[in-house]
Every structure is written in structure tokens, then in C-alpha cells.
Structure 1
């Protein structure tokens, strides 16, 4: 086949029961994907089958030849390929002429053109060497941000194989894991007791997530069990994963310093636990297999009840684990089953929200009196290695794609959203377990808001903290691509009110844990979304989010020169927040957004100024806000805003006061 005017490539493709079982091409392609020549030849065979000459297996052709024809055939074959074939031909001739040779003890001869036996396992061609080379290349490159696309391609290929029920999916994941484990740097880090680099952590997260996905679907019963040979293959491969996980788990444990002795859960800790999970639970089986599973006579209102007040099924399980089940079903080509389970999980989360609100109201006086709380979630959903909120969001958004109304296929919505911003969605009320006016779209938006507003502890380590920020921004960017209508605005109002009133169970509650993940980025999105529809609620949400409790401490007694500035100018930055500078910049962005929106409104400008003076501790950020206020107040197309100019002056004076205060403290310490 000729791909270029002066280049001829020799391509050979072997088929067995509608699968490409082996591929060779003289172009020297070095990739896990088929080269263009193999693809072209395959398409030619599919589209023009009549122009591809079919031959009998070579054994049948030889059987039809007489002695002279056989001798001529062999001699011509040796003549054409004498340098490659002659040594082998001479060796075989000697063995055949020897009566005691092993070759004469076997009846018949092998025929590679006859295909495999009906009992033999057939699978798609997988270039194992290239898979290993791709992993080596990824690990040898520089920063993980630049090579993330390459990693995504590897795991996208694994997911594609799993969706097609190709046993190579598990095999490819095994190869990636083994190559990762063979990297000599892991042993070096183990000996030195140092942490893995961010790139290795990223790969490790993806490996653990995919391993759980495969392991969970091995355990599926009933219609999802599949053929036994496929499941046996997956079980065998995953036993290898569990063995590998045991050898590396302590590396991850030792790489995370934890002064507060919080329990750590590595990605493969979850994978090992997934080995013990099963799908035999009758309630779970009914949820994923039927759209008609209800119990309208169910009146158990306990925390772990199986149905809600509507009689709709709930699924109580560790949220990341439950969402991993959804991801496993999607990955293996069961989108409808994944959707049913996702809806049950979201309904469970909404019910838990209501229960938490009731709990806070019952103990509100006590908590507000103390002013502090130890209530928190040690494991946040946004930034979690299994990405539970992203999984639910993707599953629900996939169901309302306009260009896939039949919903028979499966695509990775998470990747598609980053590539195409022109996708349209329709609010399909296609499921009976949704309230009136709700759709998959509204459910997806609501679960994203629930996850982003979750009150959770800031994790330890630079990579984990960066991942929290990165995943939050990614989820918000997906939400920003959805055009808000009246129905979605109601969802925003509902969630904003809950977040403000839910106390320590919400990141925007009145009392939250001191080390909670700040809500500045999320609140900025909420503020801009709610402002055109409910300005009062928008400002209330943004002002509540301005706090940065980890930097706050009581001002020295008697120092009333700055009554608004409760936090000390040299705050206690324990524990170590490696992303603190990014968090403070997001806090500054939120304040600047409110200043811009409040132009011309004296009352709101004064409120925003008070919040800035109380919550922002960086003199450089306060100075930036003073500059922003001045620019906004003196825009060329309008008269100067006197109130904003006063705000700018106040912030400028506070900057000077902070600088003087820090200088005096430094002088005292030096003295």
C-alpha cells in the first residue's frame, strides 16, 4: 500500500473471528495506536471486500499440489527469500530426514493462515512493547502538566477497551502498572524516605482509579457478569494489581507528613478494599436494573433508610465508593445502569443535606456560642482521587446530550467538555425518580454545587492541595459552559440558601472548621451567577466566603487601633498550606469582583470594605484592591464614584498601617 509517492509500506493484518489479532507494518510506527497504513488497509478491506482476493489456508493449497508442484513451490520460496529462509529451510529439512527427530513425532504441521481453534482465546492486537515505551516516555519527560495529554490518551485507550469488553483493557492496565513499578526511582525514593514527584502521583491516582473500575465490574452479578473467560482474565490481572499495591503503599504513606495523625488512605488502599465489594445486594441490583423500582408504602425515616419520602430508592455507601461503581458501569458500557445508580446517589445526597440542616438547627445555639467546631469531612469529594462529583456530573450530563438522544453509546464527557464549548443540552425529564420540573441537567448542576460547597478539611501535601484547587476550577469551568435558565437559577438559590444555613456541614456555614478548604473560587462563581437574579443572596454568599480562618487569631489585647482587623498581621500559618498564596489571590479576586459590582451602591461598598479589612491579611493584596477600586471609580465613560474613591483611600491607608506594623514587629524580634 502506497502512502506517499516514493514510500511503499508492507502491511500484514491477521484476523480471527472479526478481531484484528496481529499487525505488522514496515513504516516503523512507534505508538500504541495503529499506524495510518494499517487503518487504511483495514478500511479498504471493510469497504471493498470484493476487491480483496481470498485464499484458502496454505495447508489446503499444499494438499492440492503434486510432488513436482510442491518442490517448485519450496524452491521458488527459498530463491525469493534465500537470505531469510534458507537457514530455517535447511534446518527443517535435516529434521524431517531424521527419523528420530521431534518434528517427526507430531502428526501434521502448523498452519498460521488457518486461524486459531474454536476453543482458543482470541483477542485484539495489543503492542505490549509500545505500551511500556509510552509509559517510559511519560515518566522521563519534565513537568506533568505538559505531558498530561499523553497520560490521558493511555487511560482513554484502556477505557475504550473496557467499554468494548476487550480483555486487553485489563492487560494494558497491567502493563502500565508493571512499567511504573519497574522504574528505579521508586526504590530510590523508598530508601531515602522521600516523596514521589507530582507526575508519579498523577499516574498513581489514575492507575488506582482504573483498577477499582475493573475490579468492581469483575464482581458484578446477573446481566453485568459477562462471559466467564473475560471475568477470569480480569480477576487474574487484578490479583496482580493487589500484589503490586502492597509493595508500594508504604511509599505513599511515608511521603505525606501529617502532624495531626490523621488516617491516610492511599489510592490502592481503596483498590484493595474494592476486592471485597460485591454487587449481590438485592437493593443495589434492583436500582441498576429497573426504572420502576419504588416502594410508596415505605415509612422508615431513619438515616440509612432504603427509600425516601417519595418512595424512590436511595443508596447509602461511602460516596467515593458508590461513585466508583457508577464509573465502573460507564467504563464497561452500561450507561443506563450507571445513570440509575447516579440518580439514586444524588437523591441520597440531597436527603442527607436536609438531615444535616435539621441537625445543625437542633444544636445551633451551642455551636454559635462556642464559635468553633470540630465537625468536618476528612475526605473531600472535590479533589478526591476517585473524583466522585465529576463522575456523577459526567454521567448525568451525558444523559442529556442533544446529539445522543438514544443514549446507547458512551463517551467521556469530561474530556469532550474541554474540547467543545458549543454542545447543547436538553432538559429531558426522562426518569421517574426526579421531582416535577427536574431533569438530568438540573440534577447534574445541583450535585456539582453540593460537592463544591461541601465543608471538608484541607488535605496534606502539595500535590493533594493543588489537586483540590485544580479540580474545583475544572468543575466550575464546566458549569460556566451551561446557560442558566429559570429552572437552574432556582437550583442555585436553593443550594446557596442551604450552604448559608447548614452550619459546619457546609463550607459557607456560620461556623466551620478552622482548616476547612476556603470557598473563594466557588463563591465568586456563585456570586456572578446569582447577581442578575438575586443580588442580596449573591452578596450574602460572597461576603460569608471572604473569611480565611486558617490565618485568623485574636488580636493583642488593648490594640483597638484597627477594630476591623481581627487577625494578626503575622498570622499563624500552621498547618502547612502550600497553596496559600493561590488561595489568598482567589480571595482578592472575589473581593475585587464584589467591588466592581457594588459601584454606585454606598451601603454595599461599605459592607465589602469592612469584609476586606477584616479578612484579607496580605498588604500586597490590599494594595491591589486599592488600585482596583481607584480604576473602577475613575472610568473614562462615567463620573468618578466618590464612595469607591473613599474605599480606595481606606485600603491604601490600611496597607501603610500593615507595613508599619510588620516592620515594628520585625524590629522588636531583632532587638
Structure 2
């Protein structure tokens, strides 16, 4: 064991860092008796902690530590620092530790007296600890019928295990369970997810080292996951588990796939795992493979449904759980002779090629192929890598990639043979019910990682493990070092080019969008992760050739490609992948880059005319598609990716008129979200008007076109950003030029509401800042102003309530247009306009020096007004007072004409009394707007029109008093008395007002005599 550990110590960075931590530790009382190492480890005192002395004991057997004990009391999954320190000290300084035979051998050499002395001294030294046990054992040995006397010999903890006994590294199962339980109980806090991922990484490390504890540890972790109380809670509440927690379950299922696909596991081991997996799988709360939705996909070993049950109702099928694939994988084996030759030899070729069957074992180069359900075949690769067979995994990965490339070529040939028919029908069906990107087994990610790993590792690490065929006698490999595995690659290819190519094949595969939020998010996430790995690779000429080759394949491959000419409505969009392809190809082949990106702009799920496919006519390249349209939970993300792709093309096409027009057409055809088109318009505007260069007029026009489309799309719908969009469009049109502004005003009815057209568009166009910005001459200004006035009049006709004032403002400088706008207001005043709108326009007319027109509009407004007795804070009161003041200033006739309207419309006593006082202070027609007094004769309250107003005011006070007394409370008594005081002031304005008020008060006392306290207050104030 210590020879093995010594080899590990020589690996750079593995142990050196650990050794440095123990340079100050003291070691004493070393003993290595048989297979048992013990000693005392002393930690020096620290600033806040005293010196620590720990007794450590380690048992080992056949290169493994089988048990450890330490008096430090630390509880952890891994060995404590003292155990590690003692082990490393023994490895680094073997001469400091004296070796002894197992204790049984030593005892065998002693005579009776020595044995007696040995036992007595042992008891004397440790009498408090071992005396009870020693007495018990002595009693049993002296009893002939005791169990101890029925067994020959005695146990020896230092002698090691029998050669037939299983040996494995020490694993504290209780601590594993406690740690996992603790991490799960913390939910998403304290980095628990990171800690659990570290545990999974530890399991993979164990598998790679072929440590049998890997499966044991994963079993313990799984048991705690299954016991998590949140599973039942989520199932009862019908809520989905968190995304990070869901990913932990995915990793759990993937690890079990690796466990059961161990190529050297024993049948009884696999049977035991299968039993345990089925037990977990049968639990009600066991998570489903694709989140909260059942999976309609077939099992591992079949790519498509077969047999009589192929059309079975999916609702009757059992749900696939995270363990289903591992259970199915238990039926897989490694005994296939072709498979064994592939993974065992670099010389396995056959040059007798006959292209007359679908499942050839070799391609035209004589290189081996492996025809198996792709995710399953890749699961084998992952299992080989995980169990420490990187060379074998690489060989199988190369065979799988060569198979995929050959299938891709065959599919292209098949599509070309039926292309005319498919394009004529214009529809197709999905050829892959399960996509390779986002698949639970991550087949493309596995192939990519295996091939990239071969690019990075050095030869010593890559060949650091024993050959796969050590235990496969009949398939023993030849010395593969003589012929490297890249023999099975084309000239100029490498593991790197193969990794990139298989990633492009997987990303470009046409596949159906899965059901459920989690499954759809996983597709997006895995695609982005794979692309981010590709982006780390620097492209050279060889890789560019691969990109060109695959881009052409994907464009021409029909229904097998997500970039084919005809795709199914439910297929996963290619926007993210196409953006990466576009940016990668653009510097090398711009034409192909644009062709690829433009093809990918489609988003057929939003096309109302899209068909699900013609299933009535069988053809070779169509396969079964479930008859359902799942909800696309990730549609907003997909649309944003589509927008990103379009923005990338717009940026790249700056200065190229032809390409900009093509990209614009694609955007207008394929993007259905107004917010995304608006974002593209803004992006194009920013790019076109960069500060360090002259404006790009072509890109500005594209930006304007996109803005116009946004206006048309949002004209009849509610959009909270609409005002921002309108203002931006005017800004954009201003940058394009005066003809653009003139155009949007002439076609305003297809772009704006009347309010937007007058209050934002025309007003902004006519502003001084716009004129200065465009450097307009007089002729251009007049032409633009004419268009603005025409727009204003059209809007006023269509929506006079909201556009009349703006129309008048815009037409101020043109007498005919202004008169026309005023006439529109008069025509609409009797029907559609409110009093507040008419008052506003009337005030505007007075401000512009048209008092008679203002008076006319004010009288029209009064006819629409109705002010009840208790509305003494109504917002229209100021308008009424202004209208009366305007009439009073114009003369007696105007005042006489408006007072009947006031009396009819206003029932509020305080407002009427206020109007009455204002009218009696000055002479009609003799006071200007600025309050200049004159000595004219005041109007009499006994004659019309003020007599009518006075009577109405007194009547309003009487009616209001009775109304208030109907529901008055004591806390309002004082307020009511003040109200009566104001009423008395109004009564006294009449020549017989005192008598009227006295009669009014007497009447109140008689009617409301039951309100004694209130009437007492009335008598005190008014007699």
C-alpha cells in the first residue's frame, strides 16, 4: 500500500501541498504491527488553541486503508488531518517506523510464562480500560461450552484480511449520510449545492481510481436525496423543485448510469444495483426525468418506437424517472465482439467495403463504425472515462463520430432524392424525437469532452491506467502505442477537429422541443454551455474548413438539420447556434455566414399559417411526431436570442446596402415581437450614428423602417412603451432627413393615433430645435409646416376632444388653417367634447386675443356642466368663475346671456354667491383683464340679470341647508352655523333680505325642533 502511495506522492502537486501543512507537527510512539499502523500526532499550540495530542490508528490491506481511528473527534467524510499526517510521514520516512510481525506471530513465539507475563502486564498498564473485558474473556475461555471455545484460533486485527475477502478503502458511511442530510436541509443557502457537487466529483474521482467505494458512497447520497422531505411537499403542492436542485438530481442519475455501465462489474453487483434502483424508482416522490411532465420518449436501446405498442397512449405509459435510464442500462453488456475490438485495438480495420446496408460495421476507409442509439453509445463512452479507461473511451468516441458523419452524408443523399417532393409540400416532420443537446445523458457533451481531453492530456497521464483488456482475455489488445488512434481520422484531422465537428453536428440537429419548463430550459442551457466551450477554441484554417463543411451540410440536409430548407413547426430554433456560426464564419466566408444566419431567423411556432406536417403520405425521412403542441415556456428567451442574431447581422452589415436590405426583410418577416423589433431599431440607430464616424444613411433607413413597423404593430394594441417609441421614431426620422419627417406626417394615420400625431409628432417637427438640427431654409420650413397643419386638421376632425387644442396651436400662423380648426371645435362642441376641454380651448382663445371666441366656447362649455349643491371643491369652479368674469368684462349683454346658463348648471350656493359678489363689485364692460377700475354705473340686484342670479343663490342656500340637516351630526354643528352666516350675507343683498332670512330661520326652528342642541345654537347666533 505504501509503495502505491509513494508513487502518488511523486505526482506533481498531489501531496506536496499537504506535506507543507504538517512540517511543524510532531510524531511519536510509532508502531507498525503487521497491517496496523499506530502513533501519536502532536499539533503545536496556536495563538488561540493549546497543543493537541491525538492517538491515531490505521489498518491497511492490499494498497488500501481499510479503517482509521483518531482521538481528535473530528467528524467529516474525509480522513482527518492527523490520519493524513501519519500516513504521509510513514510514506516519506519509512525508516523511522519499526516494522513488527502481526501480533499473533509474536504470541506464537512466546512460552507459557511469557504469555502470562504479557497478559498481566497488559492488564496492569491498562487495568481501568481492559480489566472488565479481560475477566469476561477469561470466564468464557474457562467454560468448555462457551461460544469462544467452539472456534479454532483467535482473531488478530494486525494480521490483515484473507485473500478471498473483499477489501476497500475506509469510508465513514454515517458521516456521509449526515453531511448529505445537512447540505440538503440548507436548501439553496450556504453553498450547499456547491458542496453536493463536490461530493459528486468525489464519486467520479473514486470511479476513475476504480475504488469500489464509489458505488457505496453514491448509494448513501441517493438514500439521503430520496429521504428529502421537500420531495413530498413539492409533489403535494404541485410546485416544481428549484433549478439547481433539479440539476443535482440529473447528476445523480448520470452517475448511476456510469456505475451500472462499469465494463468490469460482476453480475451479482449489477443485480444488487438494479434491485436498489427499482426500489427507488417505485417511490411516488421519485423525480421525473424531465421535471414535472411525463416523457414520451422510447427507452435507451431504441431511437424510435417499434412494435405493436408504438402508438400506445402516452397517458398510460409509466413516467420516466431520473433512475429509468440506469435501470434500462442494466440490460446492456460489453460482450459484443465488434464493440470489444473497437475499444481494445487501434489496428481494427476492414477494407472490404460494401455500401449495401444501413448498419455496416466499417466505413469506406475500413474504419470501424458503431451503430447504436447515440445517447446510449455515448453513455458507454462516459462510463469508460469515468472508470479510468480514457484510451478505450477515445476509441469508441471516434467510432461514434465517424458513424455520425457517415449517417449525415447518407441523410443528405436521401433528402436530395426526395427534395422536390418535400419542398413542394412545404412541410416536414421531426426526425428526432429526442435531441442530443439537452438530453439527460448529454451525448454530444460527452463526445466533445472525451475528444478535447485527448487534446489536452500529456502522454503519461493519458496512459496512466492499466489496459482495459487486463480482464478481457479473449479480446486482449495489441500494443496500441505503436499505432495511435488518430489513424482513424482523415488527413489533416485531429481530436480537436473531431470534437468541434461533433459539437456542430449536435447543435445543428433538428429536434422537437421537449415538454415542460425544466426540459426546455435545459435545452437552452446545454446549448449555451457547449457554445461557450467552442468559443474557447481559437479557430485556425483547419477548423474553418470544418465550419464551412458543416454549415453547407446543415443548409442542405433537409429535415435532419435545424437549418434545413423546411423544418417542423415544433423544432427547436437555431438562433443561438446560428449566431455563433455567423460570427465564426464571417471573417472567412461572409456569404455562407449570412446564408446560415438568415436561414436560422425562422421562428415557425409563431407562424399562424404553419402546419404540423402531412402525415398521410409516408416517406423515408419522416418519422412519428406526437400529435400535440406543448407550451413553449422558454419562448421569451428564444425570441431574445432571435433578436440577438438579427442585431449581430445588422452590426456586421453596416455599409453594405444589399446585405442590410436582406437582413431587414428577414427581420420584418420573422420577428413577431414589437419590443424586440424596437430594440433592433435602436441598436441599428446607435451603430449608424457612432460618434467617431459619419452617420451611415443606409443603416439609418433600416432603423427607420424597423421603427415604422413597430408603429404599425402597436397602433391598435396597448403598449406601455408606446410614447417612448413615438418620440424615438421622430428622432430617427430627423436624423434621416426632412423627407422622412414629411413622409411620416403624410402617412400618420397608419402609424400614430391622432393624439400622438399632434401632441408628439407634429409638435416636435415644428420645434426650433428640429429646424436648427436639419438646417432648413424658408421653403423647406414652410413645406414641413404645411404638412404639420394638414396633419393637425385631419387629427382634429378624427378626434376633436384630444386634438383640437394642439391643432389650433399648430395652425396659429396660418389664418385659413386656424379658422378651419376653430370651426372644427365649434362643430364638435355640441356633441363630443367635454366642458373641461371646451374651457381649456376658450382660455387659449382669450390668451391669443380672441375674447368673443373665448366667450362663445365658454357658453358652450356651460351647457355641458352640472355642479350639484355639495360640490364646492369641484375643479370646474375656477372655469365657471373665469367664464363669468370674461362675460362681465365684455358687457351687460354677454353677462345677461351667460347668467341663465350659470343658474341652470350650478346648484352650489357658495359658488353662486361668489359669482354674485364679483358681478356687483364692478360695472359690466368697464373692467379690463388686469383689473383697471372705472366710474361706470353698477348693475342693480333688483333687475335682470342679477336678480335671477340672486334668487338662484338664495334658493341654493335654502335647498343646501335642508339637504345638510337631513344627515347632520353634532361634530358638524359649528360648521353649519358658519354656513348659515354666509347665507345671511347673501339674503341681506336683497332689499327684503332681512325678512326672508328671519322667516327662513323660523321655518328651520319649526321643522327641525327635534334637534334641540342645534336649534339652540341657531337661536344664540341668529335670534
Q: Same fold (TM over 0.5)?
A: yes
- Specify whether residues 465 and 430 from structure 1 end up closer, same or farther in structure 2 by C-alpha distance, changes over 3 A only: same
> Which residue number in structure 2 is paired with residue 355 of structure 1?
410
- Specify whether residues 373 and 570 from structure 1 end up closer, same or farther in structure 2 by C-alpha distance, changes over 3 A only: closer
Instruction: Determine helix, strand or coil for the equivalent of 1:569.
Output: coil
Largest Rg, 1 or 2: 2
Q: Is the 8 A contact 1:455 1:517 kept in 2?
A: yes
Q: For 1:456 and 1:667, locate their aligned partners in 2 and report how far apart those are by CA, in whole Å.
A: 93
Task: Give a deviation string over 1:438-486, Cα, whole Å, max 9, x none.
Answer: 1111111100110111111111112211211111111111111111110
- Specify whether residues 232 and 564 from structure 1 end up closer, same or farther in structure 2 by C-alpha distance, changes over 3 A only: closer
Q: Is the 8 A contact 2:469 2:477 kept in 1?
A: no
- Specify whether residues 334 and 555 from structure 1 end up closer, same or farther in structure 2 by C-alpha distance, changes over 3 A only: closer
Q: Which moved more, 1:513-522 or 1:148-157?
A: 148-157
TM-aligned CA deviation for residue 283 of structure 1:
1.6
TM-aligned CA deviation for residue 260 of structure 1:
9.6
Q: Which moved more, 1:488-497 or 1:660-669?
A: 660-669
Number of residues of Structure 1 aligned to a counterpart in Structure 2? 656
Q: For 1:62 and 1:512, locate their aligned partners in 2 and report how far apart those are by CA, in whole Å.
A: 82
Instruction: Determine helix, strand or coil for the equivalent of 1:267.
Output: coil
Task: Give a deviation string over 1:562-599, Cα, whole Å, max 9, x none.
Answer: 99999999999953122222222222221221122112
- Specify whether residues 535 and 279 from structure 1 end up closer, same or farther in structure 2 by C-alpha distance, changes over 3 A only: same
Task: Give a deviation string over 1:337-387, Cα, whole Å, max 9, x none.
Answer: 211111111111001101111121122222222222123311111111111
Q: Which moved more, 1:483-492 or 1:582-591?
A: 582-591
- Specify whether residues 623 and 428 from structure 1 end up closer, same or farther in structure 2 by C-alpha distance, changes over 3 A only: farther
Identify the match of residue 4 of structure 1 among 37, 49, 69: 49
Task: Give a deviation string over 1:488-546, Cα, whole Å, max 9, x none.
Answer: 00000000111111111101111111111111111111111111111111111111112
TM-aligned CA deviation for residue 126 of structure 1:
1.4
Task: Give a deviation string over 1:59-103, Cα, whole Å, max 9, x none.
Answer: 344455677766665566556655544543443344345454333
Instruction: Determine helix, strand or coil for the equivalent of 2:487.
Output: coil
Q: For 1:275 and 1:467, locate their aligned partners in 2 and report how far apart those are by CA, in whole Å.
A: 26
- Specify whether residues 332 and 139 from structure 1 end up closer, same or farther in structure 2 by C-alpha distance, changes over 3 A only: same
Q: For 1:581 and 1:604, locate their aligned partners in 2 and report how far apart those are by CA, in whole Å.
A: 27
Q: Is the 8 A contact 1:553 1:566 kept in 2?
A: no
Q: Is the 8 A contact 1:421 1:481 kept in 2?
A: no
Q: Which moved more, 1:486-495 or 1:28-37?
A: 28-37
- Specify whether residues 330 and 466 from structure 1 end up closer, same or farther in structure 2 by C-alpha distance, changes over 3 A only: same
Identify the match of residue 195 of structure 2 among 147, 150, 162: 150
Instruction: Determine helix, strand or coil for the equivalent of 1:432.
Output: helix
TM-aligned CA deviation for residue 639 of structure 1:
1.6
Instruction: Determine helix, strand or coil for the equivalent of 1:8.
Output: strand
- Specify whether residues 356 and 177 from structure 1 end up closer, same or farther in structure 2 by C-alpha distance, changes over 3 A only: same
Q: Is the 8 A contact 2:568 2:612 kept in 1?
A: no
Residue correspondence of structure 1 range 180-579 to structure 2 within 5 A: 180-187=225-232, 197-199=242-244, 201-208=246-253, 210-211=257-258, 213-214=260-261, 217-218=264-265, 265-401=320-456, 403-404=458-459, 407-409=462-464, 430-554=485-609, 575-579=630-634
- Please, which runs of 5 or more residues in structure 1 have no aligned partner? 222-228
Q: Is the 8 A contact 1:564 1:610 kept in 2?
A: no
Q: For 1:564 and 1:660, locate their aligned partners in 2 and report how far apart those are by CA, in whole Å.
A: 100
Q: For 1:594 and 1:526, locate their aligned partners in 2 and report how far apart those are by CA, in whole Å.
A: 12
Q: CA RMSD in A?
A: 12.2
Instruction: Determine helix, strand or coil for the equivalent of 1:13.
Output: strand
- Specify whether residues 435 and 567 from structure 1 end up closer, same or farther in structure 2 by C-alpha distance, changes over 3 A only: closer
Q: For 2:578 and 2:1020, locate their aligned partners in 1 and report how far apart those are by CA, in whole Å.
A: 39
- Specify whether residues 26 and 476 from structure 1 end up closer, same or farther in structure 2 by C-alpha distance, changes over 3 A only: farther
Q: For 1:665 and 1:450, locate their aligned partners in 2 and report how far apart those are by CA, in whole Å.
A: 97
Instruction: Determine helix, strand or coil for the equivalent of 2:57.
Output: strand
> Which residue number in structure 2 is paired with residue 132 of structure 1?
177
Instruction: Determine helix, strand or coil for the equivalent of 1:250.
Output: coil
Higher relative contact order (CA 8 A, sep 6+): 1
Q: Is the 8 A contact 1:253 1:264 kept in 2?
A: no
Q: For 2:473 and 2:704, locate their aligned partners in 1 and report how far apart those are by CA, in whole Å.
A: 42
Task: Give the alignment's TM-score, normalised by structure 1.
Answer: 0.81
TM-aligned CA deviation for residue 305 of structure 1:
1.6
Q: Which moved more, 1:402-411 or 1:276-285?
A: 402-411
Q: Is the 8 A contact 1:165 1:332 kept in 2?
A: yes
Task: Give the alignment's TM-score, normalised by structure 2.
Answer: 0.54
Q: Is the 8 A contact 1:382 1:452 kept in 2?
A: yes
- Specify whether residues 166 and 196 from structure 1 end up closer, same or farther in structure 2 by C-alpha distance, changes over 3 A only: same
Q: Is the 8 A contact 1:519 1:545 kept in 2?
A: yes
Q: For 1:98 and 1:556, locate their aligned partners in 2 and report how far apart those are by CA, in whole Å.
A: 90
Q: For 2:301 and 2:355, locate their aligned partners in 1 and report how far apart those are by CA, in whole Å.
A: 41
Q: For 2:280 and 2:476, locate their aligned partners in 1 and report how far apart those are by CA, in whole Å.
A: 38
Instruction: Determine helix, strand or coil for the equivalent of 2:67.
Output: strand
Q: Which moved more, 1:174-183 or 1:413-422?
A: 413-422
TM-aligned CA deviation for residue 38 of structure 1:
2.4
Instruction: Determine helix, strand or coil for the equivalent of 2:214.
Output: helix
Q: For 2:309 and 2:628, locate their aligned partners in 1 and report how far apart those are by CA, in whole Å.
A: 24
Task: Give a deviation string over 1:96-145, Cα, whole Å, max 9, x none.
Answer: 45454333443433221222223322211112122222332343233499
Q: Is the 8 A contact 1:569 1:617 kept in 2?
A: no
- Please, which runs of 5 or more residues in structure 2 have no aligned partner? 1-45, 282-298, 710-1008
Q: For 2:206 and 2:163, locate their aligned partners in 1 and report how far apart those are by CA, in whole Å.
A: 22
TM-aligned CA deviation for residue 648 of structure 1:
2.3
Q: For 2:158 and 2:597, locate their aligned partners in 1 and report how far apart those are by CA, in whole Å.
A: 71
Instruction: Determine helix, strand or coil for the equivalent of 1:246.
Output: coil
TM-aligned CA deviation for residue 232 of structure 1:
14
Q: Which moved more, 1:629-638 or 1:101-110?
A: 101-110
- Specify whether residues 396 and 633 from structure 1 end up closer, same or farther in structure 2 by C-alpha distance, changes over 3 A only: same
